[in-house]
Every structure is written in C-alpha cells, then in structure tokens.
Amino acid sequence: MPVDSGHPEPEGSGLSLRERKKQRTRRVLADTALRLFGERGFDRVTLEELTAHAEVGRTTFFRYYASKEDVAMAAEGELWDAYVARFARHTGPGPALTALRACLTQTILAMPAGWDRRFVASRRLAAGTPVLHHHSLVSSMRTAQRLIEVLERRLDTDSREDVRLRLLGELALGAWRCGARNWVAGRGEHETPVAARRPGHGGPALLARRVEESFDAIPAALALDLP
C-alpha cells in the first residue's frame, strides 16, 4: 500500500490525497481510542461510541484495525513491525543474540517522537485489562515467530531441525517483556533516579536501557540457585 504510484499532490508528505486521508483516519481512531479508554476504561467504551467520536462508521473501523484490542495496542504493533523490518535488513556476522538485542534497542530509540507516550498509555490500559494484556503477550509471541522466520531464511535451516532458532526468538522477546515490565513499573536494575518522572517513564532511552539490563541478566539467570 505505501508503494508510490503517480503523485498528483506535490504538496504534503509526498502521499496522495487518499493515502493522507487514510493515515489521518487511522490516527484519529487510535488517538480517540486511547483517550476514551483512558478516561472510562477499555470495556466501558463500546465501538459504537468510539466510532461516533471519531466520526467514522462502525464498518470503517474494521477496515483499519482488526479488533477493539488492536486499536488500543496500536503503538506496540508499530514497534514490532519496525523491529522485524530492521532485523530482516540487518546484515552482519556475529552472535545472533547480540544482533537480536541490538536491533531491538535501535528500533526502540528510532521510534518516532511521541510514540513512547502512546505506548505507555497502552501499557497502562493493559495493566488493568486482562484482554489487553493477553493481546500484548500474543503480539510479542507473534513477533518471536516472525524473527524466527527471518533467522530460518538467513541460516537456511528449519527451526524444527535446530531448536536453537526458536529458543533465541523466545528469549529475545522474553527479555523484552522483562525490560518493558520494569520500565512501566518505574524500577531499574539498581536505582531509579528522580529524573524518571512518572508520566513518560523516562522515555525510549530508559526503556532501551531496561531491555539491555534484561539481556545482560540472562547468564546470571541461568546460574540462579535455590537455597
């Protein structure tokens, strides 16, 4: 869809009028959703109300988002698309886990301005809404699957032949979940500087840091002893 055909509109962001309208509708839906859900709770807002506020028909909504959960967690979806794309582009020898890790932090830091605010709003919703939390888990697992498929192509192997591929994908996203959880909780490895103010949780930089810390902890986790 984002492929450029004839551009009759030299003005704007280089997209056709139709494309710009679609982008705009998509944004309006996501923004209104985050606002309404934040105000009154995910399950106390019906799609009827959401689409009314966004001034689109109910039918149109489903042409932009696959489900009510989907629009609430849109920010996460954008991160995963960017992550998989980056990892697929990434070329270079070295440890696979390091590559997975580097691509993830780079992706986080490269997300467009304002992304972190939308993301943290989603996470806040998910914290109090089981179905949203589930949606988040599933989307991260789907990301692991997509990473594995990239690895399979790169190494020309089947992940059923070599269990290591799947383990790596699972592990990378596991580390992400640890890091993200600690980020929204406002807790760090050692200290949480006062600078980590509530609303933004310190921004993408701190999120990336939390994820790095989780990756760092992997060897120590394997060695953890029970008393």
Binding site for a second copy (CB under 8 A): 92-97, 99, 134, 137-138, 141, 154-155, 160-161, 163-168, 170-171, 174-175, 177-178, 181-182, 185, 187, 189, 213-214, 217-227
**Burial class of residue 156 in the structure, from the number of CB atoms within 10 Å of its CB (0-12 exposed, 13-18 middle, 19+ buried):** exposed
Residue closer to a second copy (CB basis): 3 or 163: 163
The only residue of 27, 63, 134, 153 in contact with DNA, by rule CB under 7 A:
63
The only residue of 32, 34, 36, 68 in contact with DNA, by rule CB under 7 A:
68
Residue closer to DNA (CB basis): 65 or 83: 65
**Within a 10 A sphere around the Cβ of 132, how many other Cβ atoms?**
23
**What is the rounded distance in angstroms from the CA atom of residue 7 to the CA atom of residue 14?**
7
Do residues 189 and 213 make contact, with C-beta atoms less than 8 angstroms apart? yes
- Residue 23's binding partner out of DNA, a second copy, none, with CB under 5 to 8 Å set by partner kind: none
Q: How many residues bind DNA (CB under 7 A)?
A: 30
**What is the rounded distance in angstroms from the CA atom of residue 60 to the CA atom of residue 76?**
22
Do residues 56 and 24 make contact, with C-beta atoms less than 8 angstroms apart? no
28 binds DNA (CB under 7 A): no
Nearest approach, Cβ of residue 226 and DNA (Å) = 38
Residue closer to a second copy (CB basis): 93 or 112: 93
Which 4-23 residues touch DNA, going by CB under 7 A? 5-6, 8-9, 16-19, 21-22
The only residue of 27, 40, 58, 134 in contact with DNA, by rule CB under 7 A:
58
Nearest approach, Cβ of residue 218 and DNA (Å) = 35
Residue closer to a second copy (CB basis): 56 or 96: 96
Do residues 72 and 125 make contact, with C-beta atoms less than 8 angstroms apart? yes
DSSP-assigned states of every residue in 124-173: HHHHH-HHHHHHHHHHHHHHHHHHHHHHHHHHT--TTT-HHHHHHHHHHH
